[in-house]
Amino acid sequence: MSFVPGQPVTAVVERVEIQKLRQGENLILGFSIGGGIDQDPGQNPFSEDKSDKGIYVTRISPKGPADLAGLKMGDKIMQVNGWDMTMVTHDQARKKLTKKREDVVRLLVTRKSLEEAVKHSKCSYPKH
């Protein structure tokens, strides 16, 4: 999932819609993110390519909104409500996720198993 400058980035993504949960005066999503173009990509335990500076999900609160929506630990977030997350700083990512006026965030996330699922599905339906 690394990119080549000048080439489009392609990935198989899953759409995850998370309803924010109101806790007091906060709206929480129930997960934690790590990564960003200003962070050290080598420290990312989830990324396959250690130069990938994308935003990854590092923790999911059990039974929280993200968990219920199907977000998994280790997912890489590609878009949030249409905003790109592949080339943002950590703080920019956090801000896009925690807009107070938005009750719901629609994420596009990718993970290794998605690619494999697609590959398998392609194989199991050979052309007749």
Partner 1 sequence: MFCRNQTARATVARGSALEMEIRRGKFRKSVFLDTSQDSDIQKKIDHEIRMRDGACKLLAACSQKDQALEAAKSLQTCSTRIMAYMSELQRMKEAQVMQKVTRRSSDAGPMGDRLPCKGKVAISDLRIPLMWKDTEYFKNKGELHRCAVFCLLQLGEEIFDTDMVIVDRTLTDICFDNTIVFSEASPGFELRVELYSCCSEDDYSAGSTPRKLASKLSSSLGRSAGKKLRAAMEPGPCSPVSNGGGAPLLLPVPSVPGPKYHLLAHTTLSLSHVQDSFRTHDLIISGNEECSYWLPLYGSMCCRLAAQPHCMTQQMMSGCLKVKQQCGGDPQSWTKVHAVLKGTNLFCYYRQEDVEANVEPAFTIGINKETRIRASEKDPLSKVQNICISNHYGGEEVTHTVTTDSREETHRWMEAFWQHFYDMSQWKQCCDDLMKIELPSPRKPAPITPKQGSLYHEMVIESSDDLSSNVSDILARRMQELELRSQLGTSPTWMSAFEESNARCTGRSRHCTRMSGHSPCTPHRLPRSPVSPHRCPQLGLLSSDASLTSDSDSHCSTSPCSHHHGWPEPTSSYSLLSSSPSRLRPRTLSLDAKLSTLRGRGYGGGGTFQCSCQPPPSSLLAPLPISSRSPRSKHSTQTTLSCSSSTSSNSSSNSEGSHSPESSEGGPFSRPSPARRSLRNLRARLDPRNWLQSQV
Q: Which residues, numbered 1-30, are part of the site for partner 1 (CB under 8 A)?
A: 2-5, 28-29
Report the DSSP beta bridge partners of residue 35.
55
Which of 15, 43, 116, 118 is in the footprint of partner 1 by CB under 8 A? 43
Cβ 126 to partner 1, closest distance in Å?
27
124: how many CB neighbours lie within 10 A of its CB?
7
CB-count exposure of residue 32 (10 Å: 0-12, 13-18, 19+): middle
- For residue 51, state whether it binds partner 1 (rule: CB under 8 A): yes
Torsion of CA 38, 43, 46, 51, to 10 degrees: 60
- For residue 107, state whether it binds partner 1 (rule: CB under 8 A): no
Binding site for partner 1 (CB under 8 A): 2-5, 28-29, 31-36, 38-45, 49-51, 58-59, 90, 93-94, 97-98
